[in-house]
Amino acid sequence: MPHSQSAKKRLRQNVLRRERNRSVKRSLKTQCRKVTDAAKANDVATAETELREAARKLDRAAAHKIIHRNAAARTKSRLSARVKAAKAPAAPA
């Protein structure tokens, strides 16, 4: 346990930030799952709507340094590739 006043305050701040960051990360995972599920179900309209929301949340998390900006870009790229694949007609095998 911290002894000095500054260390006690720092602990309080860290606890609050950790809770906020975990909440944002959980929300990101949920949003990404919504995009993936819609793409798997070939529901293109829903997938595109959810993708826009996911991109917005990823950019906001990256701006607040909750996740790295490259991680946000990579996730957006992968999600958009899934939506694009769902959009394309199934190629004959």
Q: Is the Cα torsion angle 73, 89, 41, 44 positive or negative in sign? A: positive
pTM of this structure: 0.85
Q: Please give the average per-residue pLDDT across 10-39, as a whole number.
A: 97
Q: What is the pLDDT of residues 47-65, one digit of tens each?
A: 999 999 999 999 999 999 9
